[in-house]
Amino acid sequence: MLNSCVPQPLPTIQDPRRTMEGALITVFDLPKFGERWVPSRKTIVALAVRSGMITAEEASTRYQMSLEELHEWTTLLERFGPKGLRLSHKQEGMSLEQAAQNMQEAQEVSTQPTNFAMGVLAVDLLTKKVEVDGALVHLSRREYQLLECLAVHEICAPGTTLRRKHLYDLIYQNRPADKLPEEKTIDVRLFKVRKKLGVAGQYIETVWGRGFRLRLPQPA
């Protein structure tokens, strides 16, 4: 189960250059410009900045990213560990503090959410069983992962969107670079998920320019 947006609290790290597994970060571990931002690479950059190995300004120039985003990474890493870097939370006007509070509240309810329900849609995150109005829906592994990502994100940050790029990174983060499909494959798979969910397919909302989210249709 992905459960990517319910991060665990991060214990105090005695050596800021070390990962949670104890590995020592060096300049040779820094990602190359243009590499895909998976959580492990974000963690290395955040640790490097936090330890003073490189300055935030140097990282901003090297990776052509804003200082604000770097600050978000280091803050999420300190609070929630590498899992906090799996998603971008500053969406639809939600501040980092609000996102962190939402994640903390979700964690207090359950460190690992086990069920998601919306309207006639029910997702058992433990057994990976999906039902619509009590009828079992058969999804492929990738299709289920997409639905699970959206469900867990809705639990952690209700009403906010999940960008296509973040969905792509979550679903394909363990696949070799030479075997990665195009990013637009996310749209194709979501189309299939919507079709299989039938009446509940309309819960998967596309917010143009922002991403996707699970939301009950508004009454006409």
Identify the CATH number of the domain in which residue 46 sits. Answer: 1.10.10.10
Residues 191 and 105 in one domain: yes
- Domain edge (last residue) among 86, 106, 126: 86
**39 shares a domain with 19:** yes
- Any idea what DSSP says for residue 64? T
Give the pair of three-digit tokens for residue 156: 């952690």
- Ordered alpha helix ranges (H), the chain: 39-51, 56-63, 67-80, 96-109, 141-156, 164-172, 185-197
> Residues 144, 178: one domain?
yes
* Whole-angstrom distance, CA of residue 144 vs CA of residue 189: 10
Q: Is 207 helix (H, G, I), strand (E, B) or coil?
A: strand
The DSSP code for 26 is: -
Same domain, 110 and 80: no
pLDDT of residue 110: 44
Assess whether 73 and 112 both reside in one domain.
no
Of residues 178 and 57, the one with the higher pLDDT is 57
Among the listed residues 124, 40, 23, the one whose alpha carbon sits nearest the alpha carbon of residue 77: 40
Say yes or no: 81 and 106 in one domain.
Answer: no
Domain count of the chain?
Answer: 2
161 and 124 in one domain? yes
pLDDT digits (tens, 9 = 90+) for 120-171: 999 998 899 999 999 999 999 999 999 998 998 888 888 888 888 888 888 8
* 106, 171: one domain: yes
Q: What domain range includes position 141?
A: 96-214
Same domain, 169 and 60: no
Q: Does residue 210 have a pLDDT over 80? A: yes
Under the banding of pLDDT at 50, 70 and 90, the label for residue 97 is low
Q: Which of 86, 119, 134 is the last residue of a domain?
A: 86
Tell me the pLDDT band of 91, cut-offs 50, 70 and 90.
Answer: very low
Same domain, residue pair 201 and 103? yes
> What's residue 13's pLDDT?
38
**Of 56, 86, 116, which residue is a domain's last?**
86
Quickly state the pLDDT bin for 100 (edges 50, 70, 90). Answer: low
| Residue 119 falls inside a structural domain | yes
Q: Do 124 and 195 belong together in one domain?
A: yes
The pLDDT confidence band at residue 209, using thresholds 50, 70 and 90, is confident
Q: Which of 4, 165, 156, 141 is nearest to 86 (CA)?
A: 4
